[in-house]
A and B are shown apart, each in its own frame.
Chain A
Amino acid sequence: MKPKGFDYLRADSVAEATEALAQGGEDARLIAGGMSLVPMLNFRLVEPSILIDISKIKDRKYIQEKNGMIEIGSATRQCELEKWDQVESKLPLLAKALPVLGHYQTRARGTICGSLVHADPSSELPLCLATLGGEVVLSSTKGERVVKAEEFQTGMLSVSKQSNEMVVAARYPIAQGETGYAFREMSQRHGDYAIVALAAVVTKNKIKLGVGGVADKPTVREWDHLDGTDLDDALNAFAWDLGGYDDIHATARYRRELVRRLGKKTIEEAKNASVR
């Protein structure tokens, strides 16, 4: 369980990292926290020619408010957002999701942007980004572009980032008034990959539910206000449409059951939170 040989570059700036990406081509890879990438390297599932370490780029380590969003730099660790003193008030959904994202130790190294790029279908941060309608900022030697969450993750472990681009920041919309946020997930053990993860955003007129761990990427559905059996039917249709799989931990049917049952509870919780 040793990786195949690769070159290593510790980039001090985004310019240096994107330059190295441009030169490295398809087989260049960025590493920030390495919580997913390093095991994949050790298994030789990923064999990069060059590994560009962006975790030490100083000006990429920040959490700041910008145009109604919270922008998080690519060197910011998950634990830094978790411990950020405004996370409860500005990003209540993330405040609920971060404690179940992996483990204390992995959050101490893993980055916010790294998790978005890795695009694990069960991952909490892409689910929150999709549900809140956030965006990511991509940079390359040719410039910067902003991609909306729904256009960023294209499938399992796949994002619309080009091989010469690097995610330099993620933007999560700031919590609005009279809006409730709730997050739940079911995993076998604390910190495991979610079998089903649910994020709900409820306003006076709208219900938005994002589901992770079922389809190949987080999937969000929005309804005008629904109650009772209408909500049950809507959740049931959503559960079937997600088309989950059987694996050794859970059946597709179990995932549908969780979408129906926990989906309802998550929405209720968000609804109650919005009233307060």
Chain B
Amino acid sequence: MAEIIEKSKFVGQPIERVEDNILLQGKAQYSDHLATRPGTAHAAILRSPHAHAEIVSTDVSRAKAHPGVFDVLTGEDIEKISDPFLIVLRAPINQWALAVGKVRYVGEPVAIVIARDRYVAEDALSLIEVDYRALEPAVDQEAAALDGSPIVHEAAGSNVVSTREFTYGSPNEAFAEADKIVKIKVRYPRNSQTPLEGFVVNAEYISGEDLYDVASNYQGPFTSHPVMSMALRVRNSQLRMRMPQWSGGGFGIKVQIFPYVVLICLASKIVGRPVKWVEDKLEHLAAAAAAPNRVIELEAACKKDGTVTGFKFDQLDDYGAFLRAPMPGPLYRMHGILTGAYDIKHLAVRNRVVLTNKCPSAMVRGFGGPQMYYAIERVMHQVAAELDLDPLDVIRKNLVPEGVFPYRAAAGALLDSGDYPKAVELGVKEGGLEELKKRRDQARSEGKLYGIGYAAIVEPAQSNMGYLSNILPHSERQRNPKGGAAANATITVDPLGTVSVTADSIPQGQGHQTILSQIVADELGLKPQAIKVNLDFDTAKDAWSIATGNYSSRFSSATAVACYKAAQKIKDKLARIASQSLNVPPDQIGFAEGNIFDTLNPENSIKFYRAAGAAHWTPGALPEGMEPCVRETGSWSPPELESPNDKDQINTSLTYGFVFDYCGVEIDRDTGAVKIDKYVTTHDSGKLLNPLIADGQVYGAFAWGVGCALYEEFVYGEDGSFKTGTFADYLVPTSYEVPEPQIVHMESPSLVTPLGAKGIGEGNCMSTPVCIANAVADATGAKDLTLPLIASKVAKLIHADEDVPPSQDFQFTKDDGLLRGQGTAYVSATAQDVWRTLLDPVALAAIIPGCHKLDEVSKNSYRAEVTLGVGPVKGRFRAIVALSDMVEETSATLSGGLEGPLGASRGIGHVRLSETDGQTCITYDYAIELSGKVASVGGRMLKGAAKALVNQFFQRLTAQIYNSGTKNITDSGRQGNAIWQWIKRILGFKS
């Protein structure tokens, strides 16, 4: 189609973004700036410190009584007045806006305080007492998929809540006939492209109208609008969602605001006033959402020459604690294109969806692509390595050839246009691959570790709303077939001829205003500056559909097309009006320079504003049958987006661009740090609507790709604790770390959209992580690479095994994410004295650091209030301590737990006493799980802090024994101190 390319004047030009003026002046109004009504209350959310626990009881009475607090709600309250969120699967995985009965991940909302202001609300959070019974968590996704794992949702019976197998072509034959089968297993980490602006919800329940009026930075897709209204038990029209024009970034995550929209709506209804909630950064990192971590086993059937004839995929995608709509999108959005950029006819797939005790997964820029291409491009690299071929030659050999478009991929994607071999050669030439190879050879000859990596991928855009149907067998999905993806845009020309545009793209900073103004300006013969594009959105007033929103690169092939169609309608109408006064048929009318004219006699013209004004000022004089005013909505859903067929083939997206990347990296032999020496990225994204904006999208996606490759991961401990709650631990690369990539463009206009444009904003999220990994593989020869390739991980690949420690006293501690330690302390007292002290509640109260109060609840079991901390960092906790496995004067086990606003902890310690010459040697070891806030923000210091606290315990034990006079010591202070110095010295070196 690509019908406007020839005649465009502004489309295709690198026009500066109209958005930048207000953004760079800092005058854009973001969601947090939206005016709130007088009397608006502010909410703060209490979150679970546990990965998996039963909520035994919740006492909110003190929080409710706190001055300035309007109300406190728990899951029990919410359950009564709302329904669980609708999910894609028919499975008993119920989620409400607050945890009901059980918590399933660290950070899960447990209660909400609604108060006069956020400070008061947070004060009250610390007054809520939740009694948890900790359960074993399912953390590792592969372990969670096994029988016998703790179950996240008991009613579902298993953590594997969906398994689907697919066969395309004849994979078994392809593998039987293969010369070689290359197999890899990859573990793609959890990560997210963290926006500067977190979630914001302003909600007001308007009782007179029975309406929820919400202003929020929700980004769609609007498939989740009915999810919210159904949870709220209202019709769609009773949930009015307004989104401001300006966004501090979305990247997919901001669809996951929907549980909070419901929560704040319910809170508003209960307290009878508007309620505002703003997510903070810790809440965002711990509990907003993440791209699913995925384990993929991929086998490639190969011929000796590097031709790959078949793929066998086994994918296990981790969706965390709940399957929130539209999950498991990342597993199925890429389904049609599981063969990537390659002409591979035979494909077998097993997809499994597993739930674990982690934050729920969601859509994140790239949306399933980074995971899938990590496996595909790593296996292609490995094919080359194992067949001793050049990796680029293996790519070349397998690319979808030129001249076959539109090309139907094995699993159903209809590749709309392109010339992949040509794009590869263009990138090779423009980017200077031969010089890069020389650089590598030179570096290697100097003894440096240098590698070159490649990646070739297909970048899909505009999701088919039927893509998730493949999660059901054909027989089941036939009852309610889904497919297509509608877009809407509206253009209004007012009585003075001013043009304004609204559309359903909910932009997050991409420059949609600029591009829509270019499209409309071209159609109507105006300048882009004359077109006012307003992209704030109101579900009560704007045209929308379930596909509405900002995701899956749907702008250039969806909203932009709808806008183009609306502009054509306006043009047709104005041409008919003008044809009356110009006395020429409408098809002879042209639009340019603010005029509407006879194309055969341009002198014969009328001003654009006059023609438009006629529809307002003199509607009676309009051509017969024409409606007054000038306002047209364009809607568009491409016919190519069909439901999956009976062979499970589906065209998962509308357009498919092509990206070919290569890079050179150098690895520091001492530190393992990976430095990107050069990066070249070649894009064929069809017609570029605005090359400046296109490059901006590439830079952004590339920067995140570098983050995924080298820095970013949401890390969980084996106990399910969340360890990356700050940007000192979740490492987003900065301008120091991200080099400028060389961008090469080629334009093969799409044949399935009138504008010829495809998506470009996600490609490097998919290609860059694996391209860098392949370069590291080339440099190190390593096969098993797990992102992010942080320096310490790479160092392990390149450093020889470490010699044994010079001193035999060195004790290694097991690294399982727990705070472990061991040590030895000496006390100048008998074992009997030490034993007696440990068993005496009064003495124990004095020994436990920061103990305010200790009550014996049963024999050798105590409940205590303690303030614990290191340096200025302190927190109050409720503690339970018990002594068990007691062998008098010889050994005991101390176990217990802590709960407080800073987190929850469980621990176990073993103490053994042995006495020689009136001196007792205490050896101890401990293993502590720590979860919640302090574990999320203080990771770097936790082991040291735990050691310091245990040291304090023994320091106080020693002091207690001396002070209690059980031992007659002369000059106890001096001697105690000397002994203590000695103990500390030992601890300092050995524990």
- A250 B282 Cβ-Cβ under 8 A: no
Binds B, one of A53-61, A165-173, A175-183, A233-241: A233-241
Contact A46 B736 (CB under 8 A): no
Least distance between A209 CB and chain B CB atoms (Å): 16
Q: B594 at the A/B interface (Cβ < 8 Å)?
A: no
* Alpha-carbon separation in the docked complex, A43 to B806 (Å): 42
**Is A245 interfacial (CB 8 A cutoff)?**
yes
Residue contact B806 to A40, C-beta cutoff 8 Å: no
User: Is B941 in contact with A157, judged by CB distance below 8 angstroms?
Assistant: yes
* Chain B: minimal CB distance from A183 (Å): 15
A257 to B797, CA, bound (A): 13
Asked if B791 and A157 sit within 8 Å, CB to CB, the answer is: no
Residue numbers in A under 8 Å from B724 (CB-CB): 248
Q: Are B988 and A215 in contact (CB under 8 A)?
A: yes
A40–B990 touching, CB < 8 Å: no
Closest beta carbon of chain B to A266's beta carbon, Å: 11
* A271 at the B interface (CB under 8 A): no
Contact of B671 with A46 in the complex, beta carbons under 8 Å:
no
Task: For B715, list chain A residues within 8 Å (CB).
Answer: 248
Beyond the given pairs A39-B726, A156-B945, A241-B989, 9 more chain A to chain B contacts, judged by CB atoms under 8 angstroms and listed by A's residue number, are A1-B281, A2-B118, A43-B282, A46-B872, A216-B988, A249-B729, A249-B940, A258-B671, A262-B671
B733 contacts the other chain (CB 8 A): yes
Determine which of B790, B806, B902 lies in contact with A249 in the assembled complex, contact meaning CB atoms within 8 Å: B790
Interface residues of B in 645-683 (CB under 8 A from A): 670-673
5 CB-based A-B contacts, threshold 8 Å: A44-B126, A46-B874, A157-B870, A243-B990, A250-B790
A272 an interface residue at 8 Å Cβ cutoff? Answer: no
Type the 1/0 row for A179-204, where 1 means its CB is closer than 8 Å to any CB of B.
00000001011111101000000000
C-alpha spacing A236/B803, complex, angstroms: 9
Instruction: Using CB atoms, name the residue of chain B closest to A261.
Output: B670
Judge if B404 is at the interface, Cβ distance under 8 Å: no
Residue B447 CB within 8 A of the other chain: no
Complex Cα–Cα for A216 and B731 (A): 23
| Top 6 A-B residue pairs of the complex, sorted by shortest distance between their CB atoms | A157-B871, A1-B280, A190-B736, A254-B792, A245-B943, A250-B792
In contact, A45 and B873 (Cβ under 8 angstroms): yes
Distance from A4 Cβ to chain B, minimum over Cβ atoms (Å): 7
Name which residue of chain B comes closest to A103, CB basis. Answer: B734
Give every chain B residue within 8 A of A256 (Cβ-Cβ).
Answer: 802
Q: Is B119 interfacial (CB 8 A cutoff)?
A: yes
Contacts of A193-236 to chain B: CB distance below 8 A: 193, 195, 215-216, 233, 236
Contact of A216 with B670 at beta-carbon distance under 8 Å, contacts A156-B870, A157-B872, A240-B810 already known: no
Asked if A189 and B736 sit within 8 Å, CB to CB, the answer is: yes
Among A2, A195, A243, A248, chain B packs the most CB atoms within 10 A around the CB of A248
Chain B 699-735 interface 0/1 with A at a Cβ cutoff of 8 Å (1 = within): 0000000000001000100000001101011010110
Residues of A within 8 A of B (CB): 1-5, 29, 37, 39-40, 43-47, 119, 121-122, 155-159, 186, 188-193, 195, 215-216, 233, 236-237, 240-241, 243, 245-251, 253-254, 256-258, 261-262, 265
Count B-side interface residues using an 8 Å CB cutoff: 63
Known: A216-B944, A248-B715, A248-B939. A188 touches B791 (CB 8 A): yes
B residues 824-853 near A (Cβ < 8 Å) are none
* Given A1-B282, A190-B736, A240-B805, A45 and B940 contact (CB-CB distance below 8 Å): no
B901/A46 in contact, CB under 8 A: no
Whole-angstrom distance between the alpha carbons of A247 and B938 in the complex? 11
The answer to whether A186 and B671 touch across the interface, beta carbons within 8 angstroms, is yes
- How close is A196's CB to chain B, nearest CB, in angstroms? 9
Q: How far is the CA of A137 from the CA of B298 in the complex (A)?
A: 64
Residues of B within 8 A of A4 (CB): 122-123
- Do residues A257 and B940 form an inter-chain contact, with CB atoms below 8 A? no
Contact of B948 among A37, A46, A155, A189 (CB under 8 A): A155
Asked if B737 is at the interface (CB within 8 A of a chain A CB), the reply is yes
Whether, in the assembled complex, B934 has its beta carbon less than 8 Å from a beta carbon of chain A, the answer is yes
Alpha-carbon distance between A40 and B729 when the two chains are bound, in angstroms: 15
Interface core residue of A1, A37, A158 (most chain B CB under 10 Å): A1
Q: Which chain B residues lie closer than 8 Å to A253 at the CB level?
A: 802
* Chain A residue nearest to B936 in the complex (CB): A43
Report whether B670 and A258 are in contact in the complex, using a CB–CB cutoff of 8 Å: yes
Does B799 make an interface contact (CB < 8 A)? yes
Expressed in whole angstroms, the Cα–Cα distance for A151 and B197 within the complex equals: 44
Residues of A within 8 A of B728 (CB): 192-193
The answer to the question of B209 belonging to the interface, with a C-beta cut-off of 8 Å to chain A, is no
A261 and B672 alpha carbons, distance in the complex (Å): 11
Q: Is the interface of A mostly helix, strand, loop or mixed?
A: loop
Cα A1 to Cα B733 in complex, Å, equals 24
Distance in angstroms from B733 CB to nearest chain A CB is 6
Binary contact readout B901-922 vs A (1 if CB under 8 angstroms, 0 otherwise)? 1100000000000000000000
In the bound complex, how far is the Cα of B949 from the Cα of A216, in angstroms? 13
Q: Assess whether B123 is in contact with A5, with CB atoms less than 8 Å apart.
A: yes
List A contacts of B933 (CB < 8 A): 43
Residues of A with C-beta under 8 A to B729: 248-249
Shortest Cβ distance from A225 into chain B, in angstroms? 21
B737's contact among A2, A29, A189, by CB below 8 Å, is which? A189
User: Is A189 a contact of B280 with CB atoms below 8 Å?
Assistant: no
Q: B874 contacts which chain A residues (CB < 8 A)?
A: 45-47
Given contacts A45-B902, A262-B671, contact A121 B944 (CB under 8 A): yes
B844 to chain A, nearest CB (A): 23
B530 within 8 A of A: no
With both beta carbons as reference points, the residue of chain B lying nearest to A159 in the complex is identified as: B871
Q: Which of A156, A190, A237, A249 is within 8 Å of B941, CB to CB?
A: A156
Question: Does A156 lie within 8 Å of B948, measured CB to CB?
Answer: yes
Could you tell me the distance between the alpha carbons of A191 and B731 in the complex, rounded to whole angstroms? 11
Closest-CB distance, A121 to chain B (whole angstroms)? 7
Does B937 belong to the interface (CB within 8 Å)? yes
Residue of A whose beta carbon sits closest to that of B672: A254
Closest to B670 in A: A261
Tell whether, in the assembled complex, residue B792 and residue A195 are in contact, meaning their CB atoms are under 8 Å apart: yes
A190 & B734 in contact (Cβ 8 Å cutoff): yes
Chain A residue with the shortest CB-CB distance to B941: A156
What sequence of 0s and 1s flags, for each residue 729-771 of chain B, a beta carbon within 8 Å of any chain A beta carbon?
A: 1010110110000000000000000000000000000000000
Complex CA gap A225/B123 in Å reads: 58
**In the complex, A236 Cα to B943 Cα: how many Å?**
23
Which residues of B are found within 8 Å of A193, using beta-carbon distances?
728, 940
Could you mark each residue 273-294 of chain B with 1 if its beta carbon is under 8 Å from any beta carbon of chain A, else 0? 0000000111100000000000
Measured CB to CB, the closest approach of chain B to A26, in angstroms, equals 10
B988 touches A2 (CB 8 A): no
- Is B731 in contact with A188, judged by CB distance below 8 angstroms? yes
Q: Kindly state the separation between the CA atoms of A47 and B122 in the bound complex, as whole angstroms.
A: 13
**CB-contact partner of B944 in A156, A191, A249, under 8 A:** A156
How far is A7 from B901 in the complex, measured between Cα atoms in Å? 22
Alpha-carbon distance between A249 and B941 when the two chains are bound, in angstroms: 12
- CA distance in complex: A72, B621 (Å): 84
Q: With A46-B873, A216-B944 in contact, is A248–B723 under 8 Å at CB? A: yes
Q: Which residue of B lies closest to A236 (CB)?
A: B806
Taking CB atoms and an 8 Å cut-off, the chain B residues in 855-876 that contact chain A are: 870-875
A-side contacts of B723, CB under 8 Å: 248
Min Cβ gap B445→A in Å is 22
Residues of A within 8 A of B437 (CB): none
Tell me, rounded to whole Å, the shortest Cβ–Cβ distance linking B668 to chain A: 9
Residue in B731, B792, B815 whose beta carbon sits within 8 Å of that of A192 in the complex: B731
CB of B606 within 8 Å of the partner chain: no
Q: How far is the CA of A261 from the CA of B799 in the complex (A)?
A: 11
B796 in contact (CB, < 8 A): yes
**What chain A residues lie within 8 Å of B281 (beta carbons)?**
1
Q: Which residues of B contact A245 (CB under 8 A)?
A: 943-944
Give every chain B residue within 8 A of A121 (Cβ-Cβ). 941, 944
Contacts of B806 in A (CB 8 A): 233, 236-237, 240
Q: Are A265 and B802 in contact (CB-based, < 8 A)?
A: no
A262 to chain B, nearest CB (A): 6
- Chain B residues with CB under 8 A of A251: 792, 796, 815
Q: How far is the CA of A101 from the CA of B448 in the complex (A)?
A: 28
Q: Shortest CB–CB separation between residue B319 and chain A, in angstroms?
A: 22
